[in-house]
A and B are shown apart, each in its own frame.
Chain A
Amino acid sequence: MFLKYPIIVLLFLILAILQVSFLVHFSIIGITPNLVFILFFILIFFSCLQGNEYHQGIFYAIIAGIILDVLSSFSFGYSAVSLLLIYLLIKIVIYFLKEIHNEYILFYFIPIFLISFIFYNILMYIFFNFPYLRFNFTKGILIELVYNLIFVLFVFFIYKYINNKSQKDRQLKLFN
Chain B
Amino acid sequence: MNVYIKKQNFKWRKILISVISLIVLIVFLNIFQQPIKNTFYFITSPFSKIFWRVGDGTNNFFGSFLNAKGLTQENNNLKEENQKLLSQIVLLQETIKTDQLVKEVVKNTQKENFKIVLAETIGLDGDFILLNKGSDDGILENMPVISSQKVLYGKIYKVYKNYSQVMLISNKSSVVDIKIQNLDTTQTPISGAIKGSGNLSLYLDLVSSNDQIKEGDILITSGLEGVFPKDLLIGKIIKTDKNDLKPFQTAQVQSFFEIKNIENLFIITDYKRDK
- For residue B264, give the distance in angstroms from its CB to the closest CB of chain A: 15
CA distance A24 to B52 in the complex (A): 8
- For residue A68, give the distance in angstroms from its CB to the closest CB of chain B: 9
Report the count of interface residues on A (CB-CB < 8 A): 32
Structural contact, B158 and A73, CB atoms closer than 8 A: yes
Structural contact, A140 and B199, CB atoms closer than 8 A: yes
Structural contact, B48 and A30, CB atoms closer than 8 A: no
- A100 is an interface residue with CB less than 8 A from chain B: no
User: B113-131: which have CB < 8 Å to A?
Assistant: 122-128, 130
CA distance A80 to B25 in the complex (A): 11
- B183 is an interface residue with CB less than 8 A from chain A: no
Chain B residue numbers with a CB within 8 Å of A66 are 29
Chain A residue numbers with a CB within 8 Å of B165 are 73
Structural contact, B200 and A30, CB atoms closer than 8 A: yes
Structural contact, B259 and A17, CB atoms closer than 8 A: no
Chain A residue numbers with a CB within 8 Å of B44 are 13, 16-17
- B65 is an interface residue with CB less than 8 A from chain A: no
Structural contact, A26 and B59, CB atoms closer than 8 A: yes
CA distance A129 to B246 in the complex (A): 26
Nearest chain B residue, comparing its CB with the CB of A69: B29
Report the count of interface residues on B (CB-CB < 8 A): 42
Chain A residue numbers with a CB within 8 Å of B125 are 19-20, 71-72
CA distance A32 to B200 in the complex (A): 11
User: A15-35: which have CB < 8 Å to B?
Assistant: 16-27, 29-32
Structural contact, A21 and B123, CB atoms closer than 8 A: yes
User: A50-95: which have CB < 8 Å to B?
Assistant: 58, 62, 66, 70-73, 75-77, 80, 84
Stretch at the interface among B33-41, B82-90, B102-110: B33-41
- B10 is an interface residue with CB less than 8 A from chain A: no
Structural contact, B199 and A29, CB atoms closer than 8 A: yes
Q: How many A-B residue pairs have CB under 8 A?
A: 93
CB within 8 A of B123: which of A24, A29, A73, A77?
A24
Chain A residue numbers with a CB within 8 Å of B201 are 29-30, 140
CB within 8 A of B52: which of A16, A21, A32, A71?
A21
CA distance A17 to B48 in the complex (A): 6
The 0/1 profile, CB within 8 Å of B marked 1, for residues 98-117 of chain A is: 00000000000000000000
Q: Most A CB atoms within 10 A — which of B33, B51, B170, B198? A: B51
Structural contact, A24 and B198, CB atoms closer than 8 A: no
| Given contact pairs A30-B199, A72-B128, A73-B157, A18 touches B51 in the complex (Cβ within 8 A) | yes
Structural contact, A24 and B259, CB atoms closer than 8 A: yes
4 pairs of A and B residues whose beta carbons are closest in the complex:
A30-B200, A20-B123, A30-B199, A76-B29
15 more A-B residue pairs beyond the given contacts A21-B49, A25-B59, with a C-beta to C-beta distance below 8 A: A19-B125, A20-B130, A22-B52, A24-B260, A25-B58, A27-B260, A30-B198, A30-B259, A71-B125, A72-B128, A73-B167, A76-B26, A76-B30, A76-B36, A129-B172
